[in-house]
Amino acid sequence: MLLLNERITAVAETNVIPLGSFMPIWATVAQESHQPLLLLMEECVAATTPELQANSNVYPIITNKGCLLDSENGNSRFLQRYHSSAITLYLQSFKFGLGEEVYIHCKLLAWDPEVLSESKKACHYVKENERWELLDDPMQSSICDCCSRTCNTRSKRGDEWESNGFRHTSVLGPLIIMDPLQQNTHNASDVSIADQD
């Protein structure tokens, strides 16, 4: 996984993110000689540690086998794919870990693009339509209806197709999310104290 710049044209040159701005997070899998693969983000959380522990304080981003929870609560979304083997999460920065080092932990799955299900999907909430939408085929968005509850974690053909998938856990970071208003307020108070002396 890589953090891209705001224009989504290259790798970001800084890891400092203003609160409320977007962090384009790009993930890809090498196709090599394999059949075409569809890259999915099964689960992603933010944490203040590079390794997750049982007692780690986390901020859920993607849950329920591919539901972008942060799209329902904020303005995050998946961007249209240019290739099935890559996915871009357009994540709005959040208050969790503000001013600290934050790491994005994701469970990635490279899968058969012909076999989407409640347990193999990339869904985000589209506020204009007031419903969950499947990134790769909006006509099959009913697969995403479970994002409002608990998704079935076993595909009907899960065992049969399990050999067609590759799982990987990836960590991006450290990222530092800063509140520009607090910085300005802090600077302004420094100036006023200096003026009183």
| pLDDT tens per residue across span 16-69 | 999 999 999 999 988 776 678 899 999 999 999 999 988 888 999 999 999 999
% of the chain residues with pLDDT over 90:
59
| pLDDT confidence band for 189 (50 / 70 / 90) | very low
| Cα angle 170, 168, 41; round to 5 | 75
Q: What is the pLDDT of residue 53?
A: 86
pLDDT: which is higher, 157 or 10: 10
The rounded distance, in Å, linking the Cα atoms of 12 and 168 is 23
pLDDT of 158 higher than 50: no
Structure pTM?
Answer: 0.84
Who's near 195: CB < 8 A, 6+ residues apart? none
Q: What is the pLDDT of residue 34?
A: 61
47 close to 58: Cβ distance less than 8 angstroms: yes
Taking CB atoms within 8 Å and a gap of at least 24, the contacts of 113-117 are 113/36, 113/37, 113/38, 113/84, 115/155, 115/157, 115/161, 115/164, 116/38, 116/140, 116/143, 117/143, 117/152, 117/155, 117/156, 117/158
